[in-house]
């Protein structure tokens, strides 16, 4: 734990100082300042509660425009529901030692319905504030609370529109490229481990598999965030990108990751000679390494988009197909010689063939 702590701190600092996060921090500070400057000039009794305007600006700031609008609307909805619950108490039994806890409990239950999204915590909170802080001026307090929060949310939305959030589509596309390279590298390592004089350490192999699974999840989230960043964003009109292609590539890579994990598990059992594992014939070691390396090369060329790269893709896929055929032929010969159709070579050849089928499948 102590060894991993410095790495976590560095990653946390790096994540917090990304350009998109720094831009959000600047916009949030600006929105809070503008809301605080406007709040005292609101008409009527609302100017008595200026401190809620900066809070509204703060809660409405979100990395994406659609996220900001949604969060702001849900917050106001939650506030309105909480104020409505408090009003129900005020016009009936009035606030006392038992009605306040009861209405807060009801607000907490209501917030669990999923109707209020990001504003769910404001349902019981608004009810509590109106009954305790509002006191004799509950009507004025409720109006000021809701209006000033609305002002802050509006300011936050305007700041987010005028200083549009950065698009993350290109960065998400780069993450897909990185996943592609990681898959190819891991497949090469699997093949190399079969012929290595000393087996790869179990911990290292396990970490590589875990990292691969984590990367797939991270890329999926990055693409979802990238899609969200384009909704309603003026920058999307100037920076067009075929995001559909990134999603198609991710779907393919997720399937490839399944096959790579399966190959890794089968060969790991054989390399470490685990109990119940199937023995790997020495005759299959070199063909497995060659086939894994060739298919890994084909995976890396899977993102070709122009004619020159497309030709290179066909060449590497053809080389991989030949390597897999040679592996299949060796597997067949070994099966006849050893009298057994079960073994790591059979499973490896099957999954490598499936990978090539995915790489050759139409992209649309």
Check residue 364 and give its pLDDT: 47
Domain that holds residue 101: 4-162
Task: Say if residue 141 is in the same domain as residue 231.
Answer: no
Phi, psi of 141, deg, nearest 5: -65, -45
Query: Are 315 and 246 in a shared domain?
Result: yes
Q: What is the pLDDT of residues 202-232, one digit of tens each?
A: 556 666 677 777 777 777 777 776 666 666 6
Q: What is the pLDDT of residue 244?
A: 74
| Residue 110 shares a structural domain with residue 146 | yes
Q: What's the structural domain count of the chain?
A: 2
Percentage of the chain with pLDDT > 90?
Answer: 31
Cα 70 from Cα 75, distance rounded (Å): 9
Q: Are residues 133 and 200 in the same domain?
A: no
Model confidence band, residue 190 (pLDDT cutoffs 50, 70, 90): confident
Q: Are residues 157 and 189 in the same domain?
A: no
Tell which of 106, 131, 162 closes a domain. Answer: 162
Q: Are residues 217 and 327 located together in one domain of the fold? A: yes
pLDDT digits (tens, 9 = 90+) for 324-349: 999 888 888 887 776 666 678 888 88
Give CA 304 to chain center in angstroms.
25
Closest CA to 169 of 269, 59, 20, 284: 20
- pTM recorded for the entire structure: 0.62
pLDDT tens-digit series, residues 239-269: 566 667 777 888 888 889 888 888 888 887 7
Flag whether pLDDT at 31 surpasses 90.
Answer: yes
Question: Residue 149's pLDDT band (boundaries 50, 70, 90)?
Answer: very high
Q: Which of 162, 178, 202 is the last residue of a domain?
A: 162
Cα–Cα distances (Å) from 240 to 160, 167, 169, 244, 247, in that order, read 20, 10, 9, 12, 15
Local confidence band at 200 (pLDDT 50, 70, 90 cut-offs): low
Q: Are residue 257 and residue 340 in the same domain, yes or no?
A: yes
In the three-class reduction of DSSP (H, G, I as helix; E, B as strand; rest coil), residue 198 is classed as coil
Judgement on whether residues 200 and 333 belong to the same structural domain of the protein = yes
Q: Tell me, yes or no, whether 189 and 60 share the same domain.
A: no
**In terms of domains, do 155 and 180 share one?**
no
Q: Which range is least confidently modeled, 6-20, 74-88, 139-153, 220-234?
A: 220-234
Lowest pLDDT segment from 7-11, 76-80, 111-115, 254-258: 7-11
Based on the domain organization, do 156 and 210 belong to the same domain? no
Instruction: Calculate the dihedral angle through the C-alpha atoms of 349, 351, 353, 357, rounding to the nearest 10 degrees.
Output: 180
Instruction: Please say which residue of 162, 192, 219 terminates a domain.
Output: 162
pLDDT of residue 307: 40
Q: What is the CATH number of the domain that holds 253?
A: 1.20.58
Residues 22 and 58 in one domain: yes
């Amino acid at each position: 734990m102590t060894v991993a702590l410095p790495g976590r701190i560095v990653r946390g600092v790096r994540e917090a100082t990304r350009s998109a996060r720094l831009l959000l921090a600047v916009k949030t500070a600006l929105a809070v300042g503008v809301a605080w400057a406007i709040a005292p000039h609101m008409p009527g009794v609302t100017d008595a509660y200026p401190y809620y305007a900066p809070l509204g600006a703060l809660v409405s700031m979100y990395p994406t425009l659609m996220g900001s609008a949604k969060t702001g609307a849900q917050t106001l909805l939650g506030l309105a529901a909480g104020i409505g619950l408090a009003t129900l108490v005020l016009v009936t039994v009035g606030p006392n030692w038992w009605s306040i806890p009861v209405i807060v409990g009801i607000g907490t239950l209501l917030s669990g319905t999923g109707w209020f999204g990001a504003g769910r915590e404001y349902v019981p909170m608004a009810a509590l504030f109106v009954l305790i802080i509002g006191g004799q001026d509950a009507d004025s307090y409720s109006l000021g609370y809701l209006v000033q929060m609305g002002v802050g949310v509006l300011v936050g939305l305007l700041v987010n529109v005028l200083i549009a959030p950065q698009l993350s589509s290109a960065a998400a596309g780069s993450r897909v490229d990185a996943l592609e390279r990681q898959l190819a590298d891991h497949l090469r390592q699997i093949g190399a481990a079969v012929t290595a004089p000393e087996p790869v350490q179990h911990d290292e192999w396990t970490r590589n598999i875990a990292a691969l699974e984590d990367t797939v999840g991270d890329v999926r989230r990055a693409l979802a965030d990238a899609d969200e960043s384009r909704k309603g964003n003026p920058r999307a009109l100037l920076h067009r990108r075929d995001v559909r292609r990134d999603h198609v590539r991710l779907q393919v890579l997720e399937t490839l990751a399944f096959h790579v994990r399966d190959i890794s598990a089968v060969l790991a059992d054989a390399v470490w000679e685990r109990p119940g594992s199937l023995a790997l014939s020495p005759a299959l070691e070199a063909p497995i390494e060659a086939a894994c390396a060739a298919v890994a090369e084909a995976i890396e060329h899977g993102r070709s988009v122009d004619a020159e790269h497309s030709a290179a893709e066909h060449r590497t896929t053809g080389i991989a197909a030949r390597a897999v055929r040679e592996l299949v032929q060796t597997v067949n010969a070994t099966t006849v010689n050893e009298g057994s159709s079960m073994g790591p070579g059979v499973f490896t050849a099957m999954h490598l063939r499936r990978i090539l089928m995915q790489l050759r499948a139409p992209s649309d």
